[in-house]
Amino acid sequence: MLVLRRTDVADVLSGRETEIIRLVADTYRLHDAGQTSLPHSTFLRFPEEHHRGDRIIGLPAYRGGERPAAGMKWIASFPGNVSAGTERASAAIVLNSLHHGRPVAFVEGAVISAKRTAASAALAAAELTVERPPASVLLIGCGVINLEILRFLAAALPGLREAALYDTDPARAEAFADRCAEAAPEVKARPVTDLAAALGEHRLVSLATTAAAPHMDLTACGPDTTVLHVSLRDLTAGAIRDAVNVVDDTDHVCRERTSLDLAQQAAGNRGFVAAEIGALLRGTATLHRVPERPVVYSPFGLGVLDIALAEYVREEAERRGLGVRVDNFLPA
């Protein structure tokens, strides 16, 4: 069993934004072509009141194609960690051999989860704004995910020059600006306090918060706005129904009381979903923007992306001799 620590994973993935975006795009194409196996995620929640909002999610997945891989991500989300000064999410990924089924690697998963999430968002931003790339972005939620999203947006959108930062805690946004300067030095980051005004000023918006229930609409957005709805529960059902919606997988994202699940319950159907990102990338679907209606990208965060990226990390770590080899983990 190869154990890959956080430092090993970070070492392998540092500076690989373009390669990771390409890997995510290839995996979405395979998924759209039916070359993946992706059961629904399993959500473990707790009955105690003090655990309200806490959850641990299991995401099993298989990616086919020329470099097949299988395994499962087990990721915990404890929002209370943020106020305690630690990261909200922690994760581990198990990779299984496709020859004999045995686990072959145990990989720290939080870095992989953050980077595949950011790569998905940046890929969609480039694809959905290809005719008129934005020069600025509004980041709502000043945490780990939006920091990675900015890093990957800078790679996917070379013309990006400005990032407005909004958080319900203004001091957090101020501190976040320094981290953004390190992650994407070519992008000028500045905190903002007027959310409605900022929504009207920026054509690209990234929502990455810890919100458990919808709290905003998009009426303040200007025309031709693209929203990366990464945290999935920020927008009201009405805002979803009034938008042109792109998802990674319709069946997966319309579950677990996401904003799209609530829109589905209100509408009685999923007709508000215009396209899936894999189909757009393969050219089997096209997206038609509608004047005065924002385009909203809502990725559920498919486990197959984690498995694909974890296998990439495992292969590179083996080549470099990284990680800790544990003998006798399984019977001979």
Distance from the Cα of residue 91 to its chain's centroid: 14
Instruction: Write the CA distances from 68 to 87, 125, 165, integer angstroms.
Output: 31, 27, 39
Q: What angle do CA 57, 61, 63 make, to 5 degrees?
A: 150
Residues in Cβ contact with 119 at an 8 Å cutoff, skipping those fewer than 6 apart: 17, 20, 21, 23, 24, 152, 305
Q: Tens place of pLDDT for every residue, the chain, 332 residues?
A: 999 999 999 999 999 999 999 999 999 999 999 999 999 999 999 999 999 889 999 999 999 999 999 999 999 999 888 888 888 889 999 999 999 999 999 999 999 999 999 999 999 999 999 999 999 999 999 999 999 999 999 999 999 999 999 999 999 999 999 999 999 999 999 999 999 999 999 999 999 998 989 999 999 999 899 999 999 999 999 999 999 999 999 999 999 899 999 999 999 999 999 999 999 999 999 999 998 899 999 999 999 999 999 999 999 999 999 999 999 898 87
**310 neighbors 71 (Cβ within 8 angstroms):** yes
How far apart, in whole angstroms, are the C-alpha atoms of residue 55 and residue 84? 17
